[in-house]
Structure 1
Amino acid sequence: MTLEKRIHIDFLLKKGVTIPNPESVDIGPEVDIERISGDGVTLYAGTKIYGSSTLILRGAVIGLEGPVTVKDCYIGPEVRLAGGYFSGAVFLKGSAAGAGAHVREGTILEEAASIAHTVGLKQTLLFPFVTLGSLINFCDCLMSGGTGKQDHSEVGSSYIHFNFTPNQDKATASLLGDVPRGVMLRERPIFLGGQGGLVGPCRLAFGTVIAAGCIYRKDELRPGRLLIGAAPRGGSVPFSSGTYPNIKRIFNNNLAYVANLTALMQWYRHARALLVSGEFPQALLDGLIETLARGIDERVARLRALSRKMPAAIDIYRAGAGENASAQLIAQKQALFDRWPDIEEMMGRARDRGGDARLRDGFLTKLAEEIDRSGRDYLTVIKALKPEAAASGTRWLEGVAAAVTEDAADLIPEMGSMK
């Protein structure tokens, strides 16, 4: 162990960090060890901590079941990372990851969200209490729903969110539930049965259940539905990549996703900002906002790449369809290409819009009153909000999201209005 590493380890031990095998722990020279709490934090053998942004708060337990690498992560109180690789992610109070996890940039696990062993996440947002089983790949998703530890949205083991297409793009983010209602912790949970898959980009309503073993490819915006995916027929048919026959659905589902992330940004900046405390310090809120901002950037970048493919997509489609080519479909693709700069500019502006000031300020007043009564624990405060207060907050956030989709409809009417 180098002298610098020894100094870091000794400093952490003096702060009260439990390190059963100090020789096996690696702390990068760029790490600000002042951002690692000494209150109940445990770093087990094989733990490696890197990145100047890394934050580790009270009661975090890292590496109990296997080696862990943490790089530029924000780890809140009582988080448990059992084993694996974690980079550019945020873990809020009481969230957990099992052994063999591979959690990458843009991922946020909110309070008490958890993943079991051998789960891969990237650009994934799990709202409070959402639970993922084991052996899962669930990148590019936002999942909400449920009211508590006994009533939560869940993904069964051996599940895949298919987020890469034969056209070699990733404009495939899926919105499971939504932000305006999901943040209020009052909606029916979503359940995705094990050994199945969801083909993005997809939208599912609260209360949706997908039967185990199904590969589901459609949207379901009616709440409380059981979905049973049929097996595709066998055969061999002509296929030409790059035609994008469903470009309207792809664009609108991506737009809905960005609109919801924009609403979540306002929730973080205004609602969660009122709950800053020793358990939820400003540094953790800053990390949450920065990570979400990068998530919005990622979605916009994926849409930008898609828009650039449209001229070639038109040519491929025309060559294959001949006289049967749909003028409407061609117009949709051309409009996406031509107007993308304006759409991207609109999305950039949207993340800074606070929504209807009257609705926002009215809700925030009610939230502040509940904080005075209940304290600053996020889950306690949100669950204690009166129904009318929660409804007013939902209306505020729905307005934030709707502004994005309505502005897009004005810019690119060929895609139709969102429903």
Structure 2
Amino acid sequence: MDRSAGDTTLALDARIADLIARGVEVVDPRQLWIAPDVVPTRVHAGARLWPGTRLLGARTFVAPGAEVGAEGPATLHDAVLGPGAIVDSGFVHGAVLLDGARLGANAHVRPGTLLEEGASTAHAVGLKQTILLAHVTLGSLINFCDVLMAGGTSRRDHSEVGSGFIHFNFTPWGASGDKATPSLVGDVVAGVLLRQPRIFLGGAGGMIGPRRVEYGAIAAAGQVLRRDVAAGKLVSQPTPTLSLERRPHFLDGLQPRLQRNLEYIAQLVALSTWYREVRRARARTAIARELVDAALHTIAQAITERIDRARAFARERGASLPAIELAPSVPCPLSLDADDGRDHLAWVAALDDDACTAAAAWLRAVADRVVTPAD
């Protein structure tokens, strides 16, 4: 990666010296590169930068206690890391990791990606337009683009994907194929409340999007999911045998794929509402507000991506999207206090049953108002 024109070794040394003077732990200043567009004050005291770290982009933000590059070279480009977040090595562009989230070695992470508190991956995982709610865990050697996953109640009771799993997010139909293939594993409406049974997707397998996997489901290892999985089911789906003549420019039908895309968009809007109305209102510190705002930016990117993909999919089939409401007006029923001293997950855990029921009904009402049915 070339340095910007006019950047000099002296200028780079000055940027590194500034970080060290402000309390950033730079393990080896000789092996750190900081692009001129990085805002120094967005890399906070208490962060640790290991040798081989490269920071680029004005949006890059590294909170106290975050750690970059402990297991190998790591590049952050417009990435946002919350307190205690870790990137062991790899390339992270335009993603947000909240408190304690972790990307294992050799991660390859692209825009539209959000890992909530405690979400994690092991080594060699690819993410793009991926949202993992709190504590969701991915194993190694996984490609998990265009998926939202939730489920579980805590770090010990969490949804998980086994190693060697692929979410197949491209279909070859049409003139050039499409990626109108997002899959929901769990959902936002119930998932953000951290009270749903965990989901397990077994390794050495995959899932063809767009799919829906409900809470409490277990998919046995070594299969490719081609059908939805209902709540509480243990499934092992057989692999079909096909040998058909290929039809050039074949188009599959508008439904059910368009409806799946609209459902996914509705869940993203519910997530945006949760962050804006609840998490932003409770953010007590400047760092907490920065992280919530970064997450909102990422969710907005994800919504735009899904609308664009769905619109192109529908257009190729001679249809158009129904009206989509991105900010439904539904009052939040929760009592919010930013000064109660609890972090977000502790606050969610302390909600009583009535509050959880009201919150889920509220988010469901938001999701239900996103799409206006065609007459």
* Range of TM-score over shorter length: over 0.9
Q: Does 1:63 align with 2:91?
A: no
8 Å CA contact 1:258, 1:299 repeated in 2: yes
Deviations 1:308-343 (A, max 9, x none): 211xxxxxxxxxxxxxxxxxxxxxxx4xx2x43xx2
SS where residue 238 of structure 1 aligns?
coil
Query: Which runs of no fewer than 5 residues in structure 1 stay unpaired?
Result: 311-333, 412-419
Q: 2:240 aligns with which of 232, 235, 259?
A: 232
The Cα offsets for residues 93-124 of structure 1, whole Å up to 9 and x where unpaired, read as: 00001100000000000000000000000000
Question: Partner residue of 2:10?
Answer: 3
AA at the equivalent of 2:327: D
Pick from 319, 327, 335 the counterpart of residue 352 of structure 1.
327
SS of the counterpart of 1:404?
A: coil
Deviation at 1:307, TM superposition (A): 1.7
Q: Distance in 2 between matches of 1:33 and 1:16?
A: 12
Aligned position for 2:4: none
Match status 1:87 vs 2:78: no
Decide which structure has greater helix share: 1
Task: Tell me, in whole angstroms, the C-alpha distance in 1 between the residues paired with 2:128 and 2:119.
Answer: 15
Instruction: String of CA shifts for 1:161-185, please: whole Å, max 9, x gaps.
Output: 0001122100000011111100000
What letter matches 1:201 in structure 2?
Answer: P
How far residue 241 of structure 1 moved from its aligned partner, in angstroms, is 5.1
Q: CA deviation at 1:237?
A: 1.4
Q: Structure 1 residue 376: deviation in Å? A: 3.5
Larger mean CA deviation between 295-304 and 246-255 belongs to 246-255
The 1:80–1:279 alpha-carbon spacing in structure 2 relative to 1, beyond 3 Å, is farther
Q: Percent identity?
A: 42
Contact 1:166 1:241 survives alignment (8 Å): no
CA–CA separation in structure 1 for the residues paired with 2:289 and 2:225: 40
Aligned: 1:389 with 2:355? yes
* RMSD, aligned α-carbons: 1.4
Secondary structure of the residue that 1:86 maps to in structure 2?
strand
Secondary structure (helix, strand or coil) at the match of 2:239 reads coil
Three-state SS of the structure 2 residue aligned to 1:64 is coil
What is the identity, as a one-letter code, of the residue corresponding to 1:250?
R
Q: Does residue 253 of structure 2 align to residue 289 of structure 1? A: no
CA 1:185–1:241 in structure 2 vs 1: closer, same or farther (change >3 Å)?
Answer: farther
Q: How does 1:231-250 map to 2 (within 5 A)?
A: 231-233=239-241, 235-240=242-247, 242-250=249-257
Query: Which residue is equivalent to 1:146?
Result: 152
Q: TM (normalized to structure 1)?
A: 0.85
Contiguous gaps of at least 5 residues in structure 2: 1-7
Deviates more, 1:222-231 or 1:50-59: 222-231
Matched, 1:253 2:260: yes
1:122 aligns with 2:128: yes
User: Tell me, what secondary structure is at the counterpart of 1:352?
Assistant: coil
Larger radius of gyration: 1
Show the counterpart of 2:231.
Answer: 223
Number of residue equivalences: 365
Residues 63 and 287 in structure 2, CA contact (< 8 A), matched pair in contact too: no
Give the aligned partner of residue 217 of structure 2: 208
Deviation at 1:150, TM superposition (A): 1.0
* Candidates 103, 109, 114, aligned match of 2:115: 109
Amino acid at match of 1:282: R
Cα offset, 1:282, TM superposition: 2.0
Q: TM-score scaled by structure 2?
A: 0.94
Report Cα offsets for 1:252-308 as digits up to 9, x if no partner.
111110000011110010110122123843222211111110110000010111122
What is the match of residue 100 of structure 1?
A: 106
Letter in 2 for 1:153: S
Pick from 365, 376, 379: which aligns with 2:345?
Answer: 379
What is the match of residue 182 of structure 1? 191
What residue is the counterpart of 2:311 in the other structure? 304
Q: Which runs of 4+ in 1 moved over 3 A?
A: 241-246
